[in-house]
Chain A
Amino acid sequence: MRLDGKGLPVVAVSTLTAAGLSGPGLARRVLEDGIPSPRELAAPAPSRPEDIRQRKLMSRAAWFSALVMRGALAEARWDEGRDEIGAFFGVGASGAEMDEVARLVAASMVEGQFSLARCGREGLDACNPLFAFQIMNNFTLCHGAILEGLAGPNAAFFSRGAGTLTALEEACAAITSGACERALVGGADTALHPVTMAELEREGFLRQGLMPAEGAAALAITSEAEAPLGYVEAVRFFPVDRPRGALVPRTGVLRDAAVPAALDALEDQPCDVVVLAPWGAPAREALVDLPEMLEAELSVDASLSLGESLAATPALAWVLALDLLVHLDKHRALVLSAGPDGDLGAVVLTKGGA
């Protein structure tokens, strides 16, 4: 999707990374090498008394999402008409908190054996009442939307990269079609959930250097603004052939696809900044030469700098790119993401007037 004119204005951003919760300022931390190593985040405590009980009921990813939504809304000063604001997020397999599962399992044991019947009684009693909601992926979007009163068009896309890009594309489509004038778009996820870690291990991503992390990012996008942080100029998908059964394309194939994809997304116009978001070493290897080929002044690897937080990473990369444009007073950035869902994702951003 290529947006008309300058594109759609981005008026606010919010991120949660190992560096903490922040609006603009992520770029400076990254450039100064000031981001702590990826680790389990100390989830910020609720800032509103009424949220304390909710936090106990929500999954980590849902809480991360709620925090960046709140941050972006505050920075955008979108206090009015929230029921008309759209929300589009890339989400992961939220999974139940394993302590909940552990309590359920422990309460379901009879003489060292798991008892299904006991699970239905004592196991049930041992659980968080919103156990089912922790398991459902959509609550990463919905819990935050409920806490912040967002009631416009919406969607949560399961994402291993491309789903978060789809969220951005649908948010842009919702605004350009008039379904809403303002939308929050982003992603929130944790790669440190034990089930997800097991998945990453099995598929070899950990051996290939993927650094699992947690994170979230939200961007506030609107139909028009006087002095935005920047603009979304284009959102593009480029499917890449991959061997049957493989989770990611071969490095050479991905490399061959990346150059024309980047040029196509940029419409053969130059860019100053390239931000890459590759999953693991093979994808990184495929993309690493791209900034030089595009003669970009600066390139940053978001997955290396911030760790891999799965559904959140593309959104973190967009925020990082916008922040680099503002921080370094550059004009145009390309963000290229490559996850195991088989697509190269390209987002072109330009600096605004703020």
Chain B
Amino acid sequence: MKRQVFVRGRGAITPLGETWPASRDALAEGRSAVEPVKHFDVEGYPSQVAATVPFALDARGLRSDKPSYAPKPPLDEAEDRRLALARRAADEAWAEARVSAAPSRIGVFVGAESGRATYGTIFALSRAAGGGARFDHARFGEDARRLATSVHAAAVSPAAVASALAARIGAEGPVETISLACASGAAAIVSATQAIRLGLCDVALAGGVGADVDPFMLVGFGLLGALSARGVSCPFDVRRDGFVVGEGAAFVVLAADAGDAPRAEIRGAARTLDAHHLTAPDPTGDGAERAMRGAIEDAGHVKIGYVQAHGTSTQLNDAVEAAAIRRVLGDALPDAHVGAVKGAVGHWIAGAGAIGFLCALEAVEEGLCLPTAGLDAPDPACALPHVAGAALRKPVEAALVNAFAFGGANASLVVSRCA
């Protein structure tokens, strides 16, 4: 028999709020944080909007007066935005959880992508190699030792986030950094769930962080044609034309011990790969469907009353996901509702699945189904019982959470209300 996995704490910092309750209230009102990028010049970029946490953070995760974007070395830990965002969200979740366990029984599972240094660092490295159209490795080698002193480890290692959080909460159990692009945050919660079930730890801090509102990622996603040219994130809407980059962090504390008043439990978890094509998403949605079915099968007998969709606001992905949800829920579809958070806070990439999980948690714990911001004219190809315009209140026994990634990695979770 599997060990049960209870949700004991939640925390988030989003472009709409500095805590999860503040963010949730803004989400419930249908607000969107998407606005023009202000912290660097985006003239000429394929997309000129983003959903940004509108202030800088210092190394402790507190508000800072410094500009939120530092284009040049030297860098220090305070300027690793992922770490600062993650600390804020993790602190909130940990404080709410009030769990106790031996350090060796506490694990940390973080979805974090991209080990790249900041734009400023990479620019400096490239310049050190001569600045021509070819990277001169020999010249770089000669200059590397001097330049290396300006590259902080935290700026280039995604594992730095998990290590720092482990040190902060005194965790000495498993410390994992899951890198599965847009599925990373949900996949980290899957890994934490499995670790508790297997008895590898009793308590887990799990979630994800994304901080990709920078020139390289706007160029990179622009090259893929994935960004909204209109500058609007509107999942499942007929006018959708791409996603908008966002940033933030979301964490939960999971535990084998239910505590005094358990409210939610993770019942099902699954990960699959599309293995379809190097660039194109699988138009059949087979991998997404297998992930959803795997999580529901893992959960056993549950009634899915809410689906937190991945909902990127791209043409193909939303249509494929909607069709897969219809196939998976079948006759149960009319009794369910579907929401997506990227219309409000943008696409956090590695953090996307984690903030989606918090939204689903709200549905099962409080009966609050958050609306899909930007969804004004639902696309018939994405026909689903959407939550649009305003939040919906209804009892939800169990919710399904989806996160699907570039590269075809899929993660789904089922979270249910405790009786």
With A143-B278, A151-B274 known as contacts, the answer to whether A120 contacts B44 (CB < 8 A) is yes
* Pair B273/A151 contact, Cβ less than 8 Å: yes
In the assembled complex, the Cα of A138 lies from the Cα of B218 at a distance in Å of 19
From A103, A124, A203, B223 is in contact (CB under 8 Å) with A124
A-B CB contacts (within 8 Å), total count? 269
Residues on the A chain within 8 Å of B290, using CB: 151
Q: How many residues of A contact B (CB 8 A)?
A: 87
With A99-B134, A120-B215, A158-B159 known as contacts, the answer to whether A136 contacts B148 (CB < 8 A) is no
**Partner-contacting stretch, out of A17-25, A127-135, A224-232, A325-333:** A127-135
Residues on the A chain within 8 Å of B41, using CB: 116-117
In the assembled complex, the Cα of A198 lies from the Cα of B117 at a distance in Å of 10
Least CB distance from A87 to B in Å reads 7
* Pair B156/A130 contact, Cβ less than 8 Å: no
Least CB distance from A108 to B in Å reads 9
* Pair B123/A136 contact, Cβ less than 8 Å: no
With A145-B408, A160-B159 known as contacts, the answer to whether A203 contacts B112 (CB < 8 A) is no
* Pair B123/A114 contact, Cβ less than 8 Å: yes
Closest to A89 in B: B179
* Pair A119/B215 contact, Cβ less than 8 Å: yes
With A138-B181, A153-B272 known as contacts, the answer to whether A170 contacts B129 (CB < 8 A) is no
Closest to A53 in B: B278
Q: Interface readout for B77-111 with A: 1 if CB under 8 Å, 0 if not? A: 00000000000000000000000000010000000
Residues on the A chain within 8 Å of B140, using CB: 98, 194
Q: Interface readout for A191-215 with B: 1 if CB under 8 Å, 0 if not? A: 0001111110111000000000000
In the assembled complex, the Cα of A142 lies from the Cα of B405 at a distance in Å of 10
In the assembled complex, the Cα of A156 lies from the Cα of B44 at a distance in Å of 34
* Pair A132/B191 contact, Cβ less than 8 Å: no
**Partner-contacting stretch, out of B166-174, B372-380, B387-395:** B166-174
* Pair B113/A342 contact, Cβ less than 8 Å: no
Residues on the B chain within 8 Å of A306, using CB: none
Q: Which of A1, A96, A124, A141 has the most CB of B within 10 A?
A: A124
* Pair A138/B148 contact, Cβ less than 8 Å: no
From A98, A121, A133, B406 is in contact (CB under 8 Å) with A133
Least CB distance from B405 to A in Å reads 7
Q: Does B158 contact A (CB under 8 A)?
A: yes
Residues on the B chain within 8 Å of A95, using CB: 115-116
Q: How many residues of B contact A (CB 8 A)?
A: 87
CB within 8 Å of A: which B142-177 residues: 144-145, 147-149, 151-153, 156-159, 163, 167, 172-177
Residues on the B chain within 8 Å of A290, using CB: none
* Pair B127/A105 contact, Cβ less than 8 Å: yes
Q: Which of A1, A93, A118, A138 has the most CB of B within 10 A?
A: A138
Q: Does B122 contact A (CB under 8 A)?
A: yes
* Pair A103/B133 contact, Cβ less than 8 Å: yes
In the assembled complex, the Cα of A323 lies from the Cα of B173 at a distance in Å of 31
Residues on the B chain within 8 Å of A58, using CB: 278
Residues on the B chain within 8 Å of A247, using CB: 153
* Pair A203/B116 contact, Cβ less than 8 Å: no
Q: Does B55 contact A (CB under 8 A)?
A: no
Residues on the B chain within 8 Å of A106, using CB: 131-133
* Pair A120/B45 contact, Cβ less than 8 Å: yes
In the assembled complex, the Cα of A132 lies from the Cα of B157 at a distance in Å of 17
* Pair A158/B167 contact, Cβ less than 8 Å: no
* Pair B153/A199 contact, Cβ less than 8 Å: yes
Q: Does B68 contact A (CB under 8 A)?
A: no
Residues on the B chain within 8 Å of A201, using CB: 144-145, 148
* Pair B158/A146 contact, Cβ less than 8 Å: no
From A153, A156, A194, B129 is in contact (CB under 8 Å) with A194
CB within 8 Å of B: which A271-306 residues: none
Q: Does B61 contact A (CB under 8 A)?
A: no
Closest to A104 in B: B219
* Pair A149/B275 contact, Cβ less than 8 Å: yes
* Pair B407/A146 contact, Cβ less than 8 Å: yes
Q: Does A92 contact B (CB under 8 A)?
A: yes
Q: Does B114 contact A (CB under 8 A)?
A: yes
Residues on the B chain within 8 Å of A64, using CB: none
* Pair A142/B156 contact, Cβ less than 8 Å: no
In the assembled complex, the Cα of A43 lies from the Cα of B340 at a distance in Å of 42
In the assembled complex, the Cα of A104 lies from the Cα of B272 at a distance in Å of 34
Q: Does A318 contact B (CB under 8 A)?
A: no
A-B residue pairs in contact (CB < 8 Å), sample of 13: A98-B125, A102-B134, A102-B135, A106-B132, A109-B131, A117-B41, A132-B220, A139-B181, A158-B179, A194-B144, A197-B144, A199-B153, A202-B153
Question: Hey, which bits of chain B sit against chain A, CB under 8 A?
Answer: 40-46, 104, 112-117, 121-123, 125-127, 129, 131-135, 137, 140, 144-145, 147-149, 151-153, 156-159, 163, 167, 172-181, 184, 187, 191, 194, 198, 200, 215-224, 270-279, 286-287, 290, 294, 405-409
Question: Hey, which bits of chain A sit against chain B, CB under 8 A?
Answer: 1, 54, 57-58, 82-83, 87, 91-96, 98-99, 101-107, 109, 114, 116-121, 123-124, 126-133, 135-139, 141-143, 145-160, 162-163, 166, 169-170, 173, 179, 194-199, 201-203, 237, 239, 244, 247, 341-343
Given contacts A133-B407, A155-B178, A201-B144, 10 further A-B contacts (CB under 8 A): A83-B275, A102-B134, A133-B220, A138-B179, A148-B275, A156-B179, A158-B157, A169-B200, A194-B125, A239-B172
**5 tightest A-B CB contacts, nearest first:** A93-B115, A132-B220, A142-B407, A120-B45, A137-B179
